Amino acid sequence: MSELLHHQDRGSGPCVVFLHPTPVDHCFWEPAAALLEPEYRVLLPDLPGHGMSPLGDEPASMKTMGHAVLQLLDALSVESAIFCGCSIGGYLLYELWRQAPERVRALAICSAKPHADTAEARKAREITIAGIERKGTAPFFDAMLDTLVGAPAKERDPDIVYRLCAMMERMSAEAAIEVQRALAARPDSMATAMTIHVPTAVLAASLDRGSTPAEMRELANAVPGSTFYLLQEMGHYAPYEQPRLVGALLRRFVDQISSH
């Protein structure tokens, strides 16, 4: 058995699992998840190669990362859960649905379009990987902070960049490269989305250039009975930019599921 993912396991009640974006770690979800902790068991893992979790023995892929999350649930005796994921954490929700739909009570998918990378996007990731190989991770992290955090959040909370950078710096160059390759190779999940039959919240951020509101609307249209939310004045890292607002939205969503 491979090493379990590093994680925080807090509270009690129905389990809600929060999967973070790259290249940050579980701390990304802590402020929003705090709104659920009083009534729920909140599970916050570091994905493989992020934070304090090892990369793993096999090359990183959506499949291997999804398997690592399921292995953690097995170890913690979590039979089923409500899953919230942002960016790569959201891509992994499609993978968890493919691998183990019986363990998914509901999904909240934020800033995670169902489409595979275009040829142009894959080329951009190749350029990113070459840059990390030459110059290390610092320029890559700087570029991520520039594009993934909405300008209103930076104006309102100038320290947000430093807190996110501290999370990013726990990721090695090797892990950053592996994860970029995994993202480039991830499958198209539109057909998967059309098979989802649990309560699903689709969260789009108005300023997100990585998973645009139009792309997230496509996801909502594909998932039968899903609910679409447009988060105004937020970027790709919306749950960290406005955790009280996003956390309250997720708390209402989870409360509705748990009351049935």
Look at residues 97, 5, 13 and name the one whose alpha carbon lies nearest to residue 51: 5
Sign (positive/negative) of CA torsion 46, 199, 36, 161?
A: positive
Written as one letter, the residue type at 49 is G
Question: Would residue 18 count as lying in a domain?
Answer: yes
At residue 170 the predicted structure's pLDDT band, cuts being 50, 70 and 90, is: very high
Written as one letter, the residue type at 134 is R
pLDDT above 70 as % of the chain? 100
Average pLDDT, the chain: 96
d(C-alpha 202, C-alpha 165), whole Å: 27
Question: Would residue 236 count as lying in a domain?
Answer: yes
Residue 31, classed as helix, strand or coil, is helix
d(C-alpha 49, C-alpha 230), whole Å: 30
d(C-alpha 79, C-alpha 231), whole Å: 31
How many domains does the chain fold into? Answer: 1
Distances in Å between the Cα of 32 and the Cα atoms of 50, 228, 242 are 19, 19, 8
d(C-alpha 110, C-alpha 247), whole Å: 12
Give the strand pairing for 7-10 and 41-45: antiparallel
Distances in Å between the Cα of 239 and the Cα atoms of 34, 88, 251 are 12, 14, 13
Can you give the CATH number for the domain in which 165 is found?
Answer: 3.40.50.1820
d(C-alpha 6, C-alpha 56), whole Å: 12
Is the preceding omega at residue 187 within 30 degrees of 0, hence cis? no
Q: Count CA atoms closer than 13 A to 115's CA, side-chain side.
A: 13
Residue 143 lies in domain: 7-258
Question: Would residue 199 count as lying in a domain?
Answer: yes
Question: Would residue 71 count as lying in a domain?
Answer: yes
Mean pLDDT of 194-222: 98
Question: Would residue 77 count as lying in a domain?
Answer: yes
Question: Would residue 81 count as lying in a domain?
Answer: yes
For the stretch 212-255, pLDDT in tens is 999 999 999 999 999 999 999 999 999 999 999 999 999 999 99
Question: Would residue 56 count as lying in a domain?
Answer: yes
pLDDT above 90 as % of the chain? 97
pLDDT for the residue numbered 260:
72
- Reading the block at residue 111, the tokens are 């800033």
Q: What secondary structure letter does DSSP report for 136?
A: -
For the stretch 236-248, pLDDT in tens is 999 999 999 999 9
Examine the pLDDT at 2 and tell me if it is beyond 80. Answer: no
Enter the pTM of the model: 0.97
pLDDT for the residue numbered 56:
87
Question: Would residue 1 count as lying in a domain?
Answer: no
- Reading the block at residue 93, the tokens are 């929700």
